[in-house]
């Protein structure tokens, strides 16, 4: 199998973690990970030593990858709201492509035990929701200023925990000053 990134290099078996074998490119360190292998490994390894990823060492690859196994175009999946990095998946082969450093990134985010979940609609939807919320908060923080925004945000968090929140909202809107 040839590397989807370098095109000329052959992928060679290597360990991402003790017991977790992937097909790794000796040149760009990209890795093709069989999700079947991954599930087998994840069932046996609930926690691994946490290693912080060095952001400089994560390859920034925006181009579309084709699957090293079947040559179909792989689909990109967001990892989380806090990172712009994406994982590539070939749904036909059930294989994920990780660019250099992305396995370390997963470990930093404590997502290395949740890999198949990242490739679900629910996970992707949740990231979009979190991003929208972050953007909304940012906009209102600019409009209100930091102090007012912090207070309003605290109040909002408290409000939505109240069983009678609708009544409180009604009071805020209707009650005279
Ligand atoms: Zn490569
Ligand atoms: Zn494939």
- Please tell me whether residues 28 and 41 are part of one structural domain: yes
Q: What pLDDT shows up at residue 7?
A: 86
The CA distance from 145 to 151, in Å, is 10
Q: Say what the pLDDT of residue 87 is.
A: 95
**58 and 91 belong to one structural domain:** yes
What local confidence, expressed as pLDDT, does residue 107 receive?
A: 92
Q: Which domain range does residue 158 map to?
A: 125-174
pLDDT at 175: 78
> How many Å lie between the centroid of ligand 1 and the Cα of residue 72?
17
Query: Do 146 and 114 sit in the same domain of this protein?
Result: no
Please spell the DSSP secondary structure of 114-150, one letter per residue.
-HHHHTSHHHHHHHHHHHHHHHHHHHHHHHH-HHHHH
Specify which residues 15 forms β-bridges with.
Answer: 21
Tell me the CA–centroid distance for residue 4 and ligand 1, in Å.
7
The reported pTM is 0.75
Tell me, what's the pLDDT at 92? 96
pLDDT reported for residue 155: 95
The residues of the chain scoring below 50 in pLDDT are: none
96 and 20 co-located in one domain: yes
Distance 11 CA to ligand 1 centre (A): 8
54 with 29, same domain?
Answer: yes
């Amino acid at each position: 199998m040839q590397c989807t990134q370098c095109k000329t290099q052959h992928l060679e078996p290597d360990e991402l973690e003790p017991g977790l074998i992937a097909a790794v490119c000796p040149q760009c360190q990209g890795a093709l990970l069989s999700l079947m292998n991954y599930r087998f490994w994840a069932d046996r390894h609930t926690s691994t030593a946490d290693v912080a990823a060095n952001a400089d060492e994560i390859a920034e690859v925006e181009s579309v990858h084709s699957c090293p196994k079947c040559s179909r175009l792989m689909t990109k999946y967001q990892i989380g709201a806090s990172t712009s990095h994406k994982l590539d998946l070939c749904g036909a082969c059930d294989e994920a492509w990780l660019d250099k450093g992305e396995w370390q990134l997963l470990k930093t985010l404590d997502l290395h035990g949740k890999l198949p979940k990242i490739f679900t609609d629910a996970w992707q939807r949740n990231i979009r929701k979190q991003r929208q919320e972050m953007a909304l908060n940012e906009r209102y923080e600019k409009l209100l200023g930091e102090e007012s925004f912090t207070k309003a945000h605290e109040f909002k968090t408290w409000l939505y925990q109240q069983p009678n929140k609708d009544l409180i909202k009604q009071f805020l809107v209707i009650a005279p000053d």
